Amino acid sequence: MKTYISPNYPQLCQAVAQNVIDCVKTKPDALICIAGGDTPLGVFAALVDAQKQGHVDFSRTQFLGIDEWLGLGKADKGSCREMVWHHFFDKLPLRDEQICFFDGLTSDPKAECQRVDRYIDRHGPIDCVVLGIGMNGHIGFNEPGVSLENTCHVVDLDAVTQAVSVKYFDTPREVKQGISLGLKTLLAAKNIVVMASGEKKSAIVAQTVNHPATVDIPSTLVKTVPQAALYVDNAAASAL
């Protein structure tokens, strides 16, 4: 797995955004998947700016969500849907049919997984996916110990993920489950970008790079596929 180290967070985001832009220029109707959370916010901003400046055209691009907290919807501050729409989709001239995203308010999570799997069957495999790394090494909501054979699935959230989740919400919430693309789907993507920023991620970045690939640290599994690359800033790389 190649590792690219940027001096700081803004330059990291520009590098990751350029990777996505290059993919879309090569294939205008590419299927793009970018994680929610804090880490990709600068990537969203860079991509929106690139669209405004005419450096990329997303008019034919398909976008796929990675995960969602079960029980939360677009109106809930901190939901993946709210975050991605607020910082990205609402700022682009996209049509509804260009976006496939998990419905965290679904009354039938199994059927919701099947719906997204069917969408991927029609439009996939994913051309470019941008993943963050959780403090426990999760990618998407693929928590430690997850199966490599999962496609879309419901996840019992790890205690670390539940503890970290509070930073996203404006009111206290108890989130115990998520819904996510599985490792089988993510690792089949044609271009996999794993990004991390800040000193708080330095320990898990070092584990990702140095530890043998294992489902106990899902982020290490990206090393098993040749199309994956790690993008970090100096702070996140400080323990390497």
Residues with a catalytic annotation lie at 67, 136, 138, 143
Tokens of 228: 């994956």
Per the rule left: phi > 0, alpha: psi between -120 and 50, beta: everything else, 52 is: alpha
Burial annotation 13-26 (CB, 10 A radius, 16+ → b, else e): bbbbbbbbbebbee
DSSP, collapsed to helix, strand or coil, labels residue 63 as: strand
Tell me, rounded to whole angstroms, the distance of Cα 148 from its chain centroid.
17
Residue whose tokens read 């330095």: 202
CB 98 within 8 A of CB 1: no
Contact yes or no for 198/9 (Cβ under 8 A):
yes
Output Rg (C-alpha) for the chain, integer angstroms.
Answer: 16
Question: From the CB of residue 227, how many other CB atoms can be counted at a distance below 10 Å?
Answer: 15
3-state SS assignment for residue 191: coil
Cα distance between residue 183 and residue 230, in whole Å: 17
Query: What gap in Å lies between CA 207 and CA 211, rounded to an integer?
Result: 5
